[in-house]
Amino acid sequence: MAEKRRNVVVVGGGWAGTIVARDLSAKLDASKYNLILVSDKPYFIHLIAGARMTVTAVDKLEDKALVPFDKLFHNGNGSVKIGKVVSVSGRSGEKGGEVVLEDGEHISYAALVLATGSSWPGPLDFPNKESDMRSHLDSWRNRYEKANHVVIVGGGAVGLETAGEIKDIWPKKKVTIVHSEGQLLNDTYPDKFRRDIERRARLRGIDLILGDKLDIPAEGTVGVTTQKGKQLPDVDLVVPAFGSRPNTEFIASLGEGVVTPSGTVRVNQYLEVSGHPGVFAAGDIIEWKEQKQAAKANTHAAIVAANVVSFLEGKPYKKVYKGSLEMILIPLGRTGGAGYLGFLWGIMLGDFFSRLLKAKELMVSQARAARGY
């Protein structure tokens, strides 16, 4: 009698999860393992294109930035289950377990990869159902178009990119960023870069209120006042671009101490969940002192896929994660932006490289190719 195939389950159809699943589909013996990707959405969303996609329909980015899973697996070695995981079981120190979906289905696993990513408020809070995506995009595009003065709360990469996209489409529309720190971004990046991106934003006609905060008002409110008393009487659209949170609520069911108070998942140098052999994590959700970015998820995915194979074969883990250099590229619309590479003396990039590497196409072709398209 043939030995029953064992399940290898990847939870999360975002950046890290899809890369892990594709890599494993090329590595796992289909006669021994049943590779299953569980995703709460029916496609991969290329979030790097999220700001532009929610601001305008000009490029019809939704036709390319929402990537189906049908070509994800090498040689068809894998399957996709659309559903939401609500709990995961696996006794501390023991191998194997199961994930439970919202509809009550139980899926056992011999090895498990958790790559559930982050959720954002506002425009990037994409709905799970494909039927709701079009109305979500239309709603936000309509709001931006009708607004006279847009305030974006949060001066990180998402806020800056959103402001740049608005200015690209409507150069005369008033756009203001309110940011809690005295400089844009955060102190991961040197002051020289933070000053440079501020200069570039102001040159684009983006107003900045730094070192202040703004509570998100009820929809339809006209006129707002910051916490320090700055009045903006003509503001008619406030957009949150802060406070991303890891999607790890169900992962706490693995046991005490797995999820940190901030919602990240504790992992060791092999990106294995502490105390749970054969359970790995990748992407935004891992507890690691680094900025959460897609480029890092690529590195996580390669390490996790290799170590999953080693685990299944009963061999020592081959790959160790030592962290990644901090790099960032922030488009301020299609024609420019700024970047920083955290090696040597700290290299700064301007409009030409921003346009060449990211701003023009937002890496959509690369993202599709990495998922079989």
- Note the pLDDT of residue 348: 95
- Taking the mean position of all CA atoms in its chain, how far away is CA 124? 10
Across the range 206-212, mean pLDDT stands at: 98
- What CA–CA distances, in Å, run from 251 to 26, 41, 276, 280? 27, 18, 12, 12
Residue 91's pLDDT is 66
* Residue 83 predicted with pLDDT over 70: yes
Helix (H) or strand (E) holding 37: strand 33-39
Does residue 1 carry a pLDDT above 60? Answer: no
% the chain with pLDDT above 90: 94
Between CA 110 and CA 308 the distance in angstroms is 10
Distances (CA, A) of 72 to 16, 85, 205, 312: 13, 21, 41, 22
DSSP letter (8 states) at residue 265: B
How far apart (Å, rounded) are the C-alpha atoms in residues 111 and 21? 12
99-143: per-residue pLDDT in tens? 999 999 999 999 999 999 999 999 999 999 999 999 999 999 999
Q: Determine what percent of the chain is predicted with pLDDT higher than 70.
A: 98
Strand-strand pairing, 6-11 and 111-114: parallel
pLDDT band at residue 3 under the 50/70/90 scheme: low
Checking if the pLDDT of 354 tops 80, the result is: yes
